[in-house]
Structure 1
Amino acid sequence: MGLKKEIKDYIIITFGLILIAIGIHFFLVPHNLAAGGLTGLAMVINHYIPNLSIGIIMLIGNIFFFVIGFIFIGKAFGTKTIYSSLMLSVIISILEKVAPISKPISQDILINLIFGILIGAIGMAIVFNRNASTGGTDIPAKILNKYAHLEIGKGLLIIDFSITLLAVIAFGATTGMYALLGVIINGSMVDFVIDGLNITKRIEIMSSKTEEIRKFIIEELGRSATIYRAIGAYNLEKSDVLITVMGKKEFIKLRNFIKEVDPCAFIITHNVHEVLGEGFGNILD
């Protein structure tokens, strides 16, 4: 089961990396939108050394950052992060060979920025959601955190801002400001997509058929639940409140079952963005 999960994780991570590469290659690179990170730095270097492709520069950069990371941080890199960072460079190199871009898909720089960041952010969220990252400038941010006691988020912001300043020098103020806008949008979009991927339902059920519902949750849905004894404020009658957490698809099945056994049941649902523990995320990750 562990090996199957690992294989599944790497397949999903690879899909996320393909999305990131598509966003970079087809939308950001043609307009020189160096929106931070190692990708942005590679675009700036490629501007001055065009014989070096962006994919190759990223590959060299990732190897360099990993060596620096091992020296200053130690073996704090998971195999998934090493795989993700190197594979992203490889995928971009492949795209540069099989689908070279001679001109932007759209002449509207803002349209390219939005689509490039949106597609890339979905890919990054998928990668992050599988406990991996694309490496790159994450590593110098961790070094700053260790030696300068600077929060990783602030370290990344400083590094990305520095790269967008280089983009201003290389590509002009307008393109550089678009790149900075891309940095801001990307951070927000990644958080938004990760929240959407991880949403589960917390459900509170008050019903005269608590036992039937409890059995359905455990036997049919494979989930557990907690039952509280409550007193109704209106008539002071004692009743049970059943509380459970499950995915959106499971909740639809549960809701349909409750409609059949007790149409008068009272149900409250909440969107929960993270659940850790048995049957959900590993609390140790």
Structure 2
Amino acid sequence: MKKQILKDYFFIMFGATLMGLSISVFMIDARVVPGGVSGIAMALHFINENIPTGLALWLMNIPLFVWGIKELGWGFARRTIFGFSISAFSIDLFHGDFPGLEFFALNKSEAIVDLLQNDFLFLIIIGAVLLGVGMGFVLKHQGTTGGADVVAAILQRRFGYKPGNSIMVMNFFIITFATAVIYINNLSPNRPAISLAFYALMLTFIISRIVDVMIDGFDYARSALIISEKGEEIADAIMNRMSRGATALKGRGLYRNTDREILMTVITRREIIMLESLIKEIDPDAFVIISTVHEVLGEGFKRRA
């Protein structure tokens, strides 16, 4: 148990550091905000560059953290404050905002400056991937970096709002606010502020997809429901030729009001073609529904660490 907790904290630290690195090196100077509380912190930094983004992020997370404890309990507390503290520290460290530690300022490196000037899109994509991977590590190990995640969890608890929808709405307003700050202060003379808003929207989309892959993996399982007059033959073939299990469910066809069995099996994505060929061989008229399954626990499938 203690070993697993240490492992979780290590990956939360690693993920939060990646998140801080991506924001400080690839996003702040590019004027592209990732949404969330970090987006507000970046906007404050744009207004006054004497306000370090990481420090602003940390200070804004404190009241949200206290609110979260009150509404959600102490269960999330330790990992949350650990996550957003590491993330905030990493942002200011890699942006050169700590006196005497300016040599950590990777945003001033020749490669990053070249990308900022000559390959802006690639710069944003790298930042999005790093941020998504970092966030994926944090979430996969039961951590959080606070901010919008806490607000979304509270809104879900109090009002039943879906967290994904809440975060999407919050990000829209945060990106709009940051875009207005950039436009009013003319902080991006080489690119229109509205184009940076579109980059920000693309950024949030890439991040969400990367997080999904980090948590669910590339190889989503598939669930198949099979209705056939030759259900027993198909079940035998699934078990003997594919080495997969099958379950017979009781069903009733309402059109003819007849009882029949429905086969259910779970396979990997790579086995879909084999299953389809097998069913077509035994009963070309079988009715088959194949759907995506994001997580399967049990024999024949990987267990989550």
TM-score relative to the length of structure 1: 0.69
Q: Which residue of 1 aligns with 2:44?
A: 45
**2:90 and 2:244 mapped to 1: Cα distance?**
45
Structure 2 unpaired stretches of 5+:
97-102, 183-192, 223-230, 246-265, 270-292
Partner of 1:190: 211
Q: Is the 8 A contact 2:18 2:131 kept in 1?
A: yes
Partner amino acid for 1:280? Answer: R
1:99 aligned residue: 104
**1:242 Cα offset (Å):** 4.8
Q: Does 1:270 align with 2:268?
A: yes
Shift of 1:155: 0.7
1:11-22 alignment runs, 5 A limit: 11-22=10-21
Moved more, 145-154 or 29-38: 145-154
- Residue in structure 1 matching 2:167, options 156, 162, 171: 156
Specify the SS of the correspondent of 2:49. Answer: coil
AA at the equivalent of 2:165: K
Q: CA RMSD in A?
A: 3.2
- Tell me, what secondary structure is at the counterpart of 1:77? helix
Q: Secondary structure at the match of 2:268?
A: strand
- C-alpha displacement of 1:201: 7.9
Equivalent position amino acid for 2:8 in 1: D
In structure 1, the residue matched to 2:139 is: 128
Counting only pairs closer than 5 Å after superposition, residues 144-183 of structure 1 correspond to structure 2 as 144-171=155-182, 172-183=193-204
Judge conservation of contact 1:275–1:281 (CA < 8 Å) in 2.
Answer: no
Q: Which residue of 2 aligns with 1:207?
A: none
Q: 1:170 to 1:91 in 2, by over 3 A?
A: same
- Which amino acid letter does the alignment assign opposite residue 217 of structure 2? G
Secondary structure at the counterpart of residue 39 of structure 1: helix
Is this contact kept in 2: 1:37–1:159, CA < 8 A?
yes
Query: What letter is aligned with 2:120?
Result: I
**3-state SS in 1 of match to 2:142:** coil
What is the distance in 1 between the residues matched to 2:127 and 2:220? 28
Residue 143 of structure 1 aligns with an amino acid whose one-letter code is I
1:85–1:135 CA contact under 8 A, matched in 2: yes
Alpha-carbon distance change, 242 to 160 in structure 1, aligned in 2, over 3 angstroms:
same
Matches of 2:123 and 2:241, distance apart in 1:
54
Counterpart in the other structure of 1:80: 79
Q: Deviations over 1:11-46 (max 9, x none)?
A: 122222222222111111120111201111111011
**Is the deviation greater in 183-192 or in 93-102?**
93-102
Q: Which runs of 5+ in 1 are unaligned?
A: 203-229, 245-267
Q: Distance in 1 between matches of 2:14 and 2:155?
A: 31
Identify if the C-alpha distance between structure 1 residues 270 and 99 changes in structure 2 by more than 3 Å, giving closer, same or farther: same
Q: SS at 2:161's partner residue? A: coil
Q: Post-superposition shift, 1:173?
A: 1.6
